[in-house]
C-alpha cells in the first residue's frame, strides 16, 4: 500500500493507488492492504475528494472522446472471417 505520510497518525493514498482504486485493481493487492485503502478513502475527506476529482476527470474524458469518434457498425466476426478467407490467395 502506498501512502503519503502527513503526520504520525495520518497517511494519505497516493495518486497511483487512487488510479488503481478507480481501475478496480485493488483486488490484486493482499486483502488487508486493499481493505485498509478502501477504509482510508471512505473516512478521509481529503482522499475522498481527490478520488471524486479523478472520477470526474475520467467521466469528462469519456464524454469528450465519445463525441470525437464516429460510431462504426462492425459486421459480426464470422462474416469478417469468411470475407478474409474469400479474398486470400490459395496456399
pLDDT at position 9 = 42
Cell for 36? 485498509
C-alpha 43/C-alpha 41 separation (Å) is: 6
pLDDT at position 15 = 92
Cell for 11? 497517511
pLDDT at position 10 = 43
Which residue pairs from 16-19 have beta carbons closer than 8 angstroms and sit at least 24 positions apart in sequence? Answer: 18/47, 18/50, 18/51, 18/54, 19/54
Residue ranges of the chain with pLDDT lower than 70?
Answer: 1-10, 91
pTM: 0.61
pLDDT at position 37 = 93
pLDDT at position 53 = 96
pLDDT at position 2 = 52
Amino acid at each position: 500500500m502506498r501512502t503519503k505520510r502527513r503526520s504520525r497518525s495520518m497517511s494519505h493514498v497516493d495518486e497511483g493507488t487512487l488510479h488503481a482504486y478507480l481501475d478496480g485493481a485493488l483486488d490484486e493487492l493482499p486483502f488487508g492492504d486493499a481493505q485498509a485503502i478502501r477504509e482510508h478513502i471512505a473516512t478521509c475527506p481529503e482522499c475522498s475528494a481527490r478520488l471524486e476529482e479523478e472520477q470526474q476527470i475520467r467521466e469528462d474524458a469519456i464524454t469528450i472522446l465519445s463525441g470525437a469518434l464516429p460510431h462504426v457498425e462492425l459486421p459480426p466476426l464470422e462474416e469478417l472471417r469468411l470475407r478474409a478467407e474469400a479474398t486470400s490467395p490459395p496456399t
